[in-house]
Structure 1
Amino acid sequence: MDLERKHLRLPVESRVFIELEAPVSGTNAPGNIAVCKTLDVSASGLQVALDHELIEQSYLQIGVEPPRTASASAEPFFLAAQVKWCRAGESADQPWLAGLALLPAGQSDIDQWIELISGLE
């Protein structure tokens, strides 16, 4: 059992947008966004399946669509996350798996995320 885990994990699938590379300032370039899905969520983190390897301990800006089970708006939650681990998946539809710790960052939606997930528990 992971001794660091403080919150219940819920087997919820949501679409996640990960900013891998920010847009170049002063251009119309879109940057590099990876789209993936959650395998489970908690108030403090996400486990995601994705097509890209992520660098462990890196910090990311992410957008998470509300779970379909939630009676919330369809607006995504904008969150800051740190990659805690990343490893090769065991199936073609999940080439990479990663654990993301959600961070209490200014101007993020972390408080609304915690409230939503607490209501699902």
Structure 2
Amino acid sequence: MTEEFDSWLRDDERREEFRLNVACSLFIEVMSPLPGDTSPSRVVQCETLDLSANGAQVALPDKLTPGALLPLIIEVGDKRFDLMCDVMWCREGTLSLAQGAETLYLAGIRFVESDDLAYVEWKESVAEWLLDDL
């Protein structure tokens, strides 16, 4: 990561919970079709910069609207968690790469409880991973 990207992380050290040290894939549905529309949803894969039981800090190519409730998927190994998230904040930045600069957005998301059991399964799995790290 570049120095600018690292400064984003330092500026947003607000959470007071344990970070998870697990490799994961995180996908957010950033656009859903209207009822009756047959066009597909727009789902983007995020770079997970920081992950905890209650939320994450991610980098992604799309701007998110603070306050939006969005579906997401977290994959850790062979486990898949279909969750909902609340976008807490989002800001634009530039990541300098060898082939040029790339505009990305850094966002803070909070996982929210829904009617689905995946939220409970997520919390239970997080507890297991934290115990494994002890």
The two structures have a TM-score, normalised by structure 1, of: 0.78
In structure 1, what residue type is equivalent to 2:73? G
In structure 2, what residue type is equivalent to 1:102? F
Identity in percent:
32
Per-residue displacement from partner, 1:3-44 (whole Å, max 9, x unpaired)?
A: xx3521235442211111223444542121112121111111
Runs of 4+ in 1 over 3 A off after TM superposition: 23-28
- Structure 2 residue 83 is matched with structure 1 residue 79: yes
Higher helix fraction (1 or 2): 2
**Aligned-pair CA distance for 1:107:** 1.1
Within 2, Cα distance between the matches of 1:100 and 1:24?
24
Within 2, Cα distance between the matches of 1:107 and 1:17?
18
Structural RMSD (CA): 2.2
Match of 2:105 among 71, 75, 96: 96
Equivalent residue for 2:40? Answer: 30
Match of 2:75 among 47, 57, 65: 65
In structure 2, what residue type is equivalent to 1:76? R
**Aligned-pair CA distance for 1:101:** 0.3
Structure 1 unaligned regions, length at least 5: 69-73
Structure 2 unaligned regions, length at least 5: 1-12, 97-101
Match of 2:123 among 88, 93, 114: 114
**Aligned-pair CA distance for 1:77:** 0.6
